[in-house]
Chain A
């Protein structure tokens, strides 16, 4: 059976609701998968326990941190190794990627969710998240159009010169 994005998304959505319903990944609501909040919980929980920094984490992570990010890295590593896609490829524009990561986690945590959890929260019926999801899509649309316009302009300038 092919692994299509639709099927992968379906498993993600079902899995997120399952871990909330039966494995105490709550509160907050719709917290089954989040790729900014779960790394924050793991990082802050570890920092708190090692260095007593008093950095906050969610109630769901009180006793043990949520390990989603470790699982994602391990799952992707195993999948790429099994299918011959695991290879070290050199870095391009490292500073650019560094700042993108830096900005993404900061804006994600200010928003209170990553692009996955905002879908889960919207599915839960949270009005604020539905507005946030619309804003994420608008941000994608505006930036994509600017990037395309800039690429076309550069091509025209290069062709003219």
Chain B
């Protein structure tokens, strides 16, 4: 129950801040590449720094941060699923650019009342059903 409430509150906070700041984890790279505008890219840097700082801080305060930092404990696993990771990573970047942003930004824009993004969310959740019925079995066959 605490996890559900905590994620609801955190979601509300980042949804509010994301709407005010236009935070996006795809547009940051795109804007910097095309116009050298680093405003949104700083959001990605902020998330990375905030996460690193938080994990270090809570690790020393005794919070649940097992195996941090992972690169000390788990060497790179270059066999299992690396090809899938590369292909899916490239595809996420490509689809994000075509849609105009990351899923977080799309949810924020949909909440602003932009109906185009309602269709995005419709496809998003229809895709989830497709994933559960088709892709889960495909991935089992591939062995990821």
Contact = CB atoms under 8 A, between A and B. Distances in A.
Range class of the A interface residue count: 35 or more
A135 B135 CA distance: 21
Contact of A68 (B7, B90, B128, B132): B7
A12 B50 contact: yes
A48 to B, nearest CB: 10
A105 B38 CA distance: 27
Contacts of B47: 9-10, 12-13, 16, 116, 119-120, 123
Given A17-B50, A126-B74, A131-B85, A5 B22 contact: yes
Interface in B97-126: 97-99, 102-104, 106-108, 110-126
B111 A76 contact: yes
Contact of B91 (A10, A74, A89, A107): A107
Interface of B is mostly: helix
Contacts of A100: 95, 98-99, 120, 123
Nearest to B123: A101
Given A15-B10, A15-B13, 15 more contacts: A3-B20, A6-B43, A12-B23, A12-B47, A25-B7, A35-B107, A40-B131, A55-B132, A75-B15, A76-B18, A89-B114, A97-B123, A106-B130, A136-B92, A139-B94
Contacts of B110: 73
Interface of A: 3-26, 29-30, 32-33, 35-36, 38-40, 43-44, 47, 53, 55-56, 60-61, 63-80, 83, 85-95, 97-112, 114-116, 118-120, 122-128, 131-145, 147-148
Nearest to B91: A107
A137 B93 CA distance: 6
Nearest to B107: A72
B7 A88 contact: no
